[in-house]
Amino acid sequence: MELPQLLVDDLGADESQVRAARRLADQHGRAFVEIAVEVGLAEEEALAELLARALDTHVVEVDRGELDEDSVRLVSPEVARRFLFVPLAPDPSGESIRVVFADPLDAAAVVAAREATGLGIQPLVATVSGVLAAIDRVYGCPSGDTRVLPRAELAPDITRRVASRDQTQPVHRLEDEASLGQRHEALLLSLIDAGVLTRAQYLQALRRLLGHE
């Protein structure tokens, strides 16, 4: 199932609004997920959580983490921006690579990542703003960026925000409630669960910080 249908089935989006957003994405050569956020079909945090559940994977804060430089160089900034994904790190097997997508259900984005890297793809999920921030950080901000659609192109019937049926709190509200230690622990658990960091690597780094090496 693709994201447009998930929006209708899980978030209660109006089908005509979703179709209009798809047309805008096609007309401007941009990812549907970015347009969906821009016109207000759903909050980006809710979309990221929805996509992560659909794939039984994780939402990661890719804009804050370190990316493998060799992996990043496999993908051109133009392709990364067009399909909204960024390589994270290779799998230890060397046969696949972890890639963070704003929409991992976008078949064209997955194909583009596979063709650019020449490897199998292990998808993770991040918010649209998170992926864009990571792309800007590793590739540099483009000059004369015109990604935001002129208001005149946003039809009134697709700019009404759709209320989510999912009562999951947005990420930024959860972060406000959590202590710094809890946020660090949650990030660590996510990295370990995603296979980005092993517990042995974590313990080794902890020993170095404590001067036990």
Mark whether 22 and 51 lie in a shared domain. yes
pLDDT at 167: 36
> Which of the pair, 183 or 39, is modelled with greater confidence?
39
Residues 6+ apart with CB under 8 A from 171: 45, 48, 59, 127
Mark whether 7 and 90 lie in a shared domain. yes
Distance CA 100, CA 87 (A): 6
Mark whether 208 and 138 lie in a shared domain. no
Q: Into how many domains does the chain fold?
A: 2
Mark whether 184 and 132 lie in a shared domain. no
Domain that holds residue 205: 178-213
> Which of the pair, 134 or 172, is modelled with greater confidence?
134
pLDDT in tens, 102-116: 999 999 999 999 999
Distance CA 56, CA 193 (A): 12
Mark whether 101 and 160 lie in a shared domain. yes
Q: Which of 24-38, 113-127, 162-176 has the lowest mean pLDDT?
A: 162-176
What CATH code is carried by the domain that includes residue 138? Answer: 3.30.300.160
Q: Which of 43, 27, 202 is nearest to 128 (CA)?
A: 43
Section 120-141 average pLDDT: 92
Q: What is the average pLDDT value for the chain, to the nearest integer?
A: 79
Contact at 8 Å (CB) between 98 and 195? yes
Residue type, 23: R
Q: Which of 101, 83, 105, 85 is nearest to 9 (CA)?
A: 105
What CA–CA distances, in Å, run from 185 to 61, 158, 179, 188?
14, 39, 10, 5
Kindly tell me the sign of the dihedral angle through the C-alpha atoms of 151, 155, 161, 166.
negative
Mark whether 116 and 41 lie in a shared domain. yes
Mark whether 186 and 173 lie in a shared domain. no
pTM across the whole model? 0.68
Contact at 8 Å (CB) between 63 and 188? no
| Encoded tokens for 45 | 């945090």
Mark whether 213 and 109 lie in a shared domain. no
Residue showing tokens 């993770």: 124
pLDDT at 66: 82
